[in-house]
Amino acid sequence: MVLFGASRQRFDETVSWLAGPQAGGLSHADLEQRLQDVGRELLRQLLQDHLDLRAARERRVVEVVGDDLVTRQYAEPGHARGLATVFGKVTVTRIAYRAKGVANLVPADGVLNLPVGLHSHGLRRLAALETARGSFEQATAAIRRASGVGVGKRQVQALAETAALDIDNFYAARRPADCPDGDIVVLTCDAKGIVMRPDALRAATAKRAASSSRKLATRLSRGEKLGRKRMAEVVAVYHCTPAPRTPADVIGAPSAAERRDSRGGPKAASKWLHASVTTDTAGQITAMFDEATRRDPHGTHPWVVLVDGNAHQIETIRAHAKARDQPVTIVIDFVHVLEYLWKAAWCFHTEGDPAIETWVAAQARLILAGRAHRVAGTIQRKITAAGLDPGRRKGAEACVTYLLNKARYLRYHETLAAGWPIATGVIEGACRHLVKDRMDITGARWGLNGAAAVLKLRALISNGDFNDYWTHHLDQEQHRVHASRYANAAIPS
């Protein structure tokens, strides 16, 4: 056979066309488009010729024993299968080893690490990146532009789900760099709802959605949207260098000069994000603690946990810390506290009253100074003195209750002096980026597997770990699809 004869012919035809009069009259845009098309076809032909060469050179394996301990005694050359690649479709021909009553084994597939199904790992990689970036429809269009291969929407989703299979075990086996000396380990978690198809809702949510007795035909009934979402639990771990501050550095006077002079807070470094719509709060907090342990295996650094005040979340964190004998400092996001202060302020001030900002800032500085109980008492006295009716005093009473119930997690004077963060901006940004920006695309209704895969892929890419993960994933695929099917070393290393 002439080595790469078809490829040489295609190359010579392309060169001849470029040197001819027809190409000489084209614009650069037309030349680009033509070369993109013929160039992809040339690459496809090179790959096909290489695969044909490997088929011609393949030697029979002396003994092929499956994981069922049955020896495949009969070797049949010429077994072909299709493969859709980033260059187009090719045919892979190889020797199949057979025995009566058992499945064939094809060692050459293991050498090539061929996937199960039609689509190559290159297409799967492209599908993973594109589905993490935009809708499944946009992903199919991007794959066609890049490869010329048409892949259906459901196929793209299935490829993305397969691509995400090994993300959890990748992170479980990964050892990140240790937290630098002098830094603290910060853990933080939150949740964001995703609109799901009815079959993908948790049991309690589905029951609530079905309980509505008055469903309208042309729009959602009151409260119906709440029964269509499933919470995606998002966690983050990072480290930062302490940056001590005072209450005035956080909440200064209204003057711009004082705000410019204030010191900035600690900066997040080496962020790790993880999101799941299948794992509950406890499971995600376990993953969060596991990642923190990988960064600080001996627990020699302070651990700070930033939360939004959710009671179940806090109790779960405390239980995990106790079970691991790992001291943690739980800090409630100061922005959430400010929101309660504003709710109280509107009970005592009219809209547009300039005094409201001064009052909120003064109470906020007191809370930052560790005087949450004092602020609660002040607000309670104002409620009594103003003689507010029950409807008008609701926001103020909620603020009092919140400050008293959460006081143990509002010790900001200690947190600021230590230079630790007091805001959950990292996790709120993660919820917005990982969940809202992709999962809230207009009209999206998610199935469980598709949503889980896309969330994991988006977090993986945000962490900057995609390339390392893909190497790990291909190794896992080789073992899962090929090496595990043999009882002897039939696949050359």
* Cβ–Cβ under 8 Å, residues 81 and 117: no
Name the residue with higher pLDDT: 488 or 429.
429
Does some domain include residue 106? Answer: yes
DSSP string, 209-238: HHT-S---SSSPPTT-GGGGEEEEEEEEEE
Same domain, 272 and 336: yes
Does some domain include residue 48? Answer: no
Q: Is the dihedral of CA 444, 449, 452, 457 positive or negative?
A: negative
Same domain, 284 and 335: yes
The total of structural domains in the chain comes to 2
Query: Which amino acid, one-letter code, is at 123?
Result: L
Same domain, 123 and 228: no
Same domain, 243 and 343: yes
Of 431, 454, 479, which residue sits at a domain end? Answer: 431
For 346, the token pair is 């509107």
Does some domain include residue 22? Answer: no
Same domain, 282 and 405: yes
Containing domain of residue 108, as a range?
58-174+466-493
Same domain, 308 and 250: yes
How far apart, in Å, do the first and last CA atoms of the chain sit?
Answer: 28
Phi/psi of residue 288, each to 5°? -65, -45
Same domain, 168 and 313: no
**Which tens digit of pLDDT belongs to each residue from 158-210?**
999 999 999 999 999 998 989 999 999 999 999 999 999 887 676 665 566 55
CA atoms of 286 and 317, how far apart (whole Å): 9
For 9, the token pair is 């012919």
Same domain, 379 and 426: yes
pLDDT value of position 201: 73
pLDDT value of position 333: 96
Phi/psi of residue 80, each to 5°? -115, 150
Of 404, 431, 458, which residue sits at a domain end? Answer: 431
**Which tens digit of pLDDT belongs to each residue from 403-455?**
999 999 999 999 999 999 999 999 999 999 999 999 998 778 899 999 999 99
DSSP 307: E
* Cβ–Cβ under 8 Å, residues 4 and 46: yes
Of 416, 431, 446, which residue sits at a domain end? Answer: 431
Does some domain include residue 49? Answer: no
For 96, the token pair is 């199949």
Q: Please list the alpha-helical segments (H only) found in 60-135.
A: 107-112, 121-133
Instruction: For the chain, give the number of residues.
Output: 493
pLDDT value of position 402: 96
pLDDT value of position 260: 46
Mean pLDDT in residue range 9-26:
93
Same domain, 301 and 372: yes
Same domain, 351 and 242: yes
Does some domain include residue 243? Answer: yes
Phi/psi of residue 459, each to 5°? -65, -45
Mean pLDDT in residue range 18-47:
93
Does some domain include residue 450? Answer: no
Does some domain include residue 39? Answer: no
Same domain, 154 and 182: no
CA atoms of 257 and 76, how far apart (whole Å): 83
Same domain, 191 and 146: no
Does some domain include residue 28? Answer: no
**Which tens digit of pLDDT belongs to each residue from 61-104?**
989 999 999 999 999 999 999 999 999 999 999 999 999 999 99
In the structure, what pLDDT confidence band is assigned to residue 265 with cuts at 50, 70 and 90? Answer: confident
